[in-house]
Amino acid sequence: MKDLFKKVKKLEIKIRKMVDATFAGEYQSAFKGQGLEFDEVRPYQYGDDIRAIDWNVTAKTGQPYIKKFKEEREQTLFVLFDTSGSGDFGPAEENKRFIGMEMAAIMAFSAMKNNDKFGLATFSDHIEQYYKPDKGRKHIMKIIRGVLSFKNKSEGTSIKNALELAHHVLKRRSVVIIISDFLDDNYEAPLVKLAHKHEIILIRLFHPNEIFHEGAGIIPVIDIETNRQHWLNAGDMGYREQLQENFESIERHLTELCKRNGLGYLSVNTKEDYIPVMERYFRERIQGKRRKGQLIQPS
């Protein structure tokens, strides 16, 4: 218990410094004020945008009325975090699961600082943990303690099951962030379905050592999602090219999928500093919303 407390405290201090120094402003600008909710109708006035006319009320009254909206001050951020066996790839603090946990914690503390709701689910081939979206430090620390201390019951992967959970539990429009290496298939349809109601951001984690390099030779490898050992000729040029192609095909597929359906996408090398990648994404997101006129400046 003391070791867990130390881990939680150490992570909190580290993440809080990162949030305060880097993400506080970007988070607020990127995620606040993106949604509008209906307030009331009022008579049309000269200069009003005709696209705001409520045609049903106008037809009933014989006079033009427009819909008034107000900014949604409360945001919900929900993270789906892949904790399947493949997340254990990579040494120490380059481990995909470790980096994914840090990124989820950054989102959690950013949401807390902005008084937003935050929820999280960890998943393998089923839902391992689920934390209902809520506010406050007590809630955030409960999630972090839970993720740090939890041991998966399974090593497989089903992104589809995680997406179906989000679709079921999120009733209002939310920002859904999926942190995974995306070594899975058959998740595209539920992903697109979820994107019809919520804003989706995919964060793909990878470690460069997942692609074997020249000179590796005949090596034993363990499939960490089945716990079976195989012998591979990692020095074979054809095999290395196949691994490279498989890796790049996932990248192409995710990039095209996100572009086609208007989803956010980050690709994160866990051996490198991921902070600049997140900063760049936030800045681009803010600039994109300003270009489209969708960004309401926070008060």
We report the CATH number of the domain holding residue 189 as: 3.40.50.410
Average pLDDT over residues 176-203: 95
The answer as to whether 268 is a domain residue is: yes
> In terms of domains, do 133 and 270 share one?
yes
Of residues 121 and 89, more confidently modeled = 121
The answer as to whether 120 is a domain residue is: yes
Total domains in the fold of the chain: 2
Measured CA to CA, the distance from residue 121 to residue 28 in angstroms comes to: 23
Write the CB contacts of 30 (distance below 8 Å, at least 6 apart in sequence). Answer: 282, 285, 286, 289
Pairing of strands 228-233, 218-223: antiparallel
> In terms of domains, do 63 and 132 share one?
no
> In terms of domains, do 117 and 251 share one?
yes
The answer as to whether 151 is a domain residue is: yes
Tokens of 201: 């951001």
The answer as to whether 96 is a domain residue is: yes
At residue 21, does pLDDT exceed 70?
A: no
Across 88-92, 237-241, 278-282, least confident range: 237-241
Final residue in a domain of this structure, among 71, 96, 123: 71
> In terms of domains, do 94 and 221 share one?
yes
The answer as to whether 298 is a domain residue is: no
Q: How confident is the model at residue 286 (pLDDT cuts 50, 70, 90)?
A: low
Phi then psi dihedrals of residue 291, to 5 deg: -65, -35
Q: How confident is the model at residue 2 (pLDDT cuts 50, 70, 90)?
A: low
Indicate the pTM of the whole model. 0.75
So what's the pLDDT on residue 211?
67
> In terms of domains, do 64 and 111 share one?
no
> In terms of domains, do 10 and 143 share one?
yes
Of residues 68 and 187, more confidently modeled = 187
Final residue in a domain of this structure, among 21, 48, 71: 71
Name residue 257's amino acid: L
Are 18 and 32 within 8 A, CB to CB? no
Which run of H or E residues covers position 79?
strand 76-82
The answer as to whether 297 is a domain residue is: no
> In terms of domains, do 86 and 198 share one?
yes
Average pLDDT over residues 62-75: 73
> In terms of domains, do 192 and 215 share one?
yes
Measured CA to CA, the distance from residue 66 to residue 26 in angstroms comes to: 33
> In terms of domains, do 197 and 274 share one?
yes
The answer as to whether 173 is a domain residue is: yes
> In terms of domains, do 64 and 208 share one?
no
Of the ranges 47-51, 69-73, 146-150, 295-299, the best mean pLDDT one = 146-150
The answer as to whether 211 is a domain residue is: yes
> In terms of domains, do 166 and 259 share one?
yes
> In terms of domains, do 241 and 179 share one?
yes
Expressed as residue numbers, the domain containing 259 is: 2-31+74-292
